[in-house]
Structure 1
Amino acid sequence: DLLQQVESLRARRNEISAQMKNGQPNPKLIEQGKQLKVELADREELLDKTAEELSSILRQVPNIALDHVPVGETEDDNVVTKTVGEKPQFSFQPKPHWEILATRDMMDKERAAKISGSRFTYLKGGIVQLQFALVQFVMDVLGDEETLKKIIEKNGLNISSKPFTPVLPPAMLRTEPYVASARLNAAEVTYKLDGDDLWLNASAEHTLCTMYWNEILPEEQLPIRYIGYLTSFRREAGTYGKDTEGIIRLHQFDKLEMEVFSTSETGLDEHKFLYAIQEYFVQQLGIHYQFIEKCTVDIGKPNAAGIDINCWYPGQDRFIETHTADYMTDFQARDLNTRTKTADGTSLVHTNDATAFAMSRILAAITENYQNEDGTINIPDVLQKYMGGKTQI
């Protein structure tokens, strides 16, 4: 009704304007025009306010979960769909990664705490070299069309084998696109820069998914696949006392993140492709893992489906999440207004994101799984060529 009022007033304004152009100045029309201008401004202001209130309400409504997603009330209702590999066997009591790295002078949290506070660290030496070996490994896999074809064929998917484009995205976002992405969690997660309309990204996909905000993409360009490398920041509010030792849960961490823009027809297969790539990465590292189908309460508001991979940490005798793959259907693209041009007009793209490696978590997993009694760490075979042929650090 309010929109109709505004449209009616605009139409009347145009009529008066046309009449004024076609004849002598008419005092009556001039007065009507003045009154109309005031009334229209009032109605437009109310319309804008109402539209923003409606948009704010709609942003609280989550995406609709796909039919295969298990219904649940807590993360305990997530379903372990498979467990792959074997737990490594040791002739000694395996240590947690923080003891190994500190003893080998590859991690210094005490000095980091002196400089930056809790949940920061200095990483040094071989563990840093290992991080960049992982980066190069991921870039080689995702840039190799033949490897991607094999993953697609193995998983029975009918999608393009188009390689991923490497991206170094910005680390900060303005409020409007961040809100539109449905990823801004101001209270618990995200750091805000005082005096600027800027937020530090809480995860690498946040500045990747927003790249085509308010844009129309030619359909022939899809899928667009990116692999982004970025330092991310989280306040970790609400996690007091959780994973305080080591490098599992830090305020600052580096991520390799996959992001895909696709048509609606291929969106679900792109999701399957991304978590197949994640499995490939973990299998190549030779780490024991679980595959988790996340339930409705745990997938996250913008997501229609979500998968986790939890790797085994022998020094802690537990599985820990190392990878997440999220499928947003067109939910995210709707507020971001990211569309594709088709023969029939335009339609919303579908978006997917998935972890390639959250660096601190996978470094911790490698450290614990490949540790030796003397404190050295064996380098997984697949990474040795990126370490100058080294077999240990």
Structure 2
Amino acid sequence: MRASQRARGEDVALVDALLSADERRRSSGVRFDELRSEQKSLGKLIPKASPEERAELLKKAEQLKADVKAAEAAQNDADEETMRLAAQLGNLVHPDVPVGGEEDFVVLETHGTIRDFGAEGFEPKDHLELGEALGAIDVERGAKVSGSRFYYLTGVGALLELALVNAAIAQATEAGFIPMLTPALVRPRAMEGTGFLGQAAENVYHLEKDDYYLVGTSEVPLAAYHMDEILDADKLPVRYAGFSPCFRREAGTYGKDTRGIFRVHQFDKVEMFSYVAPEDAENEHKRLLEWEKQWLTGLELPFQVIDVASGDLGASASRKYDCEAWIPTQGKYRELTSASNCDGFQARRLSVRMRDGKKVQPLATLNGTLCAVPRTIVAILENHQQADGSVRVPEVLRPYLGGREVLEPVAK
């Protein structure tokens, strides 16, 4: 765990503080049990004692009562301190994860062909210019109504989102996922149990008056769906595909991706979520990645798969694969999907367990983005644009757009 903290760039001393608190928790528990046992034994002696002995025993019982109360308080304090420190620890980093920060990822695969717009005789437009010409995106009125990083999807933009969501849910359903529409507001335990109130807390919207959190992903309500439950091992894996609005403060990104809809405060997303036996977690992680690759290949997007470095994992993931699509006007690959193996991290915190025969133990949870709508629209518009400003519709989406093959610019 010390090595894992070091790889994450987190405080290694936290591990030693936790071990010390846990030792206090154990010793205070033993002390409390000893005093309670003595108190019970004394309670049995008092009725049998002579009047002279009883006065002395009652005096001793009174002192024991105070000692037991103090020991219980010490035990509770030690328990709370141990839990507080344990909640600050990230998941144990998988040994194969590349060590380093955001730029230290390893490229595992590259798919598709990057278009040479110069050879085609025109300069590519960015997604916002294309989207405004198509009557699909309106960021000016989004900013007027809600502020920066908000937007409207209008006309074919709205239809394109609905097509993407329906196509993504259709793929997930065919793969055996149960479709889910999830709450956007959750209680603190759900947010904390999934690992989003540690280092990620600055990006979470909190409604203080009601003590609710707006979710940044349907991973949160999907992980908490079986909170405090025991699932049968022979019924695993259990897979859900959640569709929900997502809310992120995007703290720390001032001046970054301010144009258009690539980085916004509110967006819709289809998320895959799996409950599996611990020994099947790594294979399930690969399956989630394969479904994401299938999705991006169907959208005819050039993309690469990266093994995310340890310092960029997020608290709950032991390993994470990102699929990054090529964005022509940025001249680089940008993240569209992520697949994370959380092992037993979330299950332990949310008390989601599995029963295998007589044995009850935490199971493993995994999550994978299938379609984060705005970024996917960005990639589609830019990669499938044509010289006249129209955009070719990938074949997989055409049935969900009434057979439309091309999105045409509209008159001003």
* TM-score, normalised via structure 2 length: 0.85
- Cα separation, 2, equivalents of 1:107 and 1:211: 34
- Cα separation, 2, equivalents of 1:24 and 1:372: 102
Aligned to 1:120: 150
> 1:209 aligned to 209, 220, 223, which one?
223
- Cα separation, 2, equivalents of 1:235 and 1:293: 26
Equivalent positions of 1:19-38 (< 5 A) are 33-38=61-66
> 2:115 aligned to 79, 82, 88, which one?
88
- Cα separation, 2, equivalents of 1:181 and 1:46: 29
CA RMSD of superposed structures (Å):
2.2
Deviation of the 1:195 alpha carbon: 1.2
Deviation of the 1:366 alpha carbon: 0.7
SS of 1:230's partner is strand
Indicate if the aligned counterparts of 1:109 and 1:121 stay in contact, CA closer than 8 A.
yes
- Cα separation, 2, equivalents of 1:179 and 1:34: 41
Equivalent positions of 1:1-393 (< 5 A) are 1-15=27-41, 33-72=61-100, 74-90=101-117, 91=120, 92-144=122-174, 148=175, 163-184=176-197, 185=199, 187-393=201-407
Indicate if the aligned counterparts of 2:190 and 2:221 stay in contact, CA closer than 8 A.
no
Between 1:222-231 and 1:173-182, the stretch displaced more is 173-182
Indicate if the aligned counterparts of 1:95 and 1:316 stay in contact, CA closer than 8 A.
no
Please, which runs of 5 or more residues in structure 2 have no aligned partner? 1-26, 408-412
Deviation of the 1:224 alpha carbon: 0.9
SS of 1:346's partner is strand
Deviation of the 1:59 alpha carbon: 2.5
CA deviations on 1:268-319 (whole Å, 9 max, x unpaired) are 1000000010000001111000110112222222211110110011133221
Indicate if the aligned counterparts of 2:303 and 2:324 stay in contact, CA closer than 8 A.
yes
SS of 2:245's partner is strand
- Cα separation, 2, equivalents of 1:212 and 1:21: 50
CA deviations on 1:218-264 (whole Å, 9 max, x unpaired) are 11221110100010111111000000011111011111111111001
Indicate if the aligned counterparts of 2:384 and 2:393 stay in contact, CA closer than 8 A.
yes
SS of 2:311's partner is coil
SS of 2:125's partner is coil
- Cα separation, 2, equivalents of 1:14 and 1:98: 75
Please, which runs of 5 or more residues in structure 1 have no aligned partner? 149-162
Indicate if the aligned counterparts of 1:119 and 1:244 stay in contact, CA closer than 8 A.
yes
Between 1:265-274 and 1:186-195, the stretch displaced more is 186-195
Aligned to 2:7: none
SS of 2:369's partner is strand
Change (3 A) 1:10 1:176: farther
Structure with the bigger percentage of helix: 2
Deviation of the 1:189 alpha carbon: 0.4
Larger radius of gyration, structure 1 or 2? 2
CA deviations on 1:185-204 (whole Å, 9 max, x unpaired) are 56520011021221111222
Between 1:33-42 and 1:339-348, the stretch displaced more is 33-42
Letter in 2 for 1:377: V
Change (3 A) 1:3 1:225: same
* TM-score, normalised via structure 1 length: 0.89
SS of 1:365's partner is helix
Deviation of the 1:63 alpha carbon: 2.2
Indicate if the aligned counterparts of 2:353 and 2:361 stay in contact, CA closer than 8 A.
yes
Indicate if the aligned counterparts of 1:337 and 1:348 stay in contact, CA closer than 8 A.
yes
Between 1:205-214 and 1:321-330, the stretch displaced more is 205-214
Aligned to 2:4: none
Deviation of the 1:62 alpha carbon: 2.5
Change (3 A) 1:18 1:68: same
Q: How many residues align?
A: 375
Deviation of the 1:104 alpha carbon: 2.4
- Cα separation, 2, equivalents of 1:251 and 1:41: 49
- Cα separation, 2, equivalents of 1:20 and 1:227: 63
Change (3 A) 1:377 1:21: farther
Indicate if the aligned counterparts of 2:134 and 2:156 stay in contact, CA closer than 8 A.
no
Letter in 1 for 2:368: A
* Residue identity (%): 35
Change (3 A) 1:20 1:89: farther
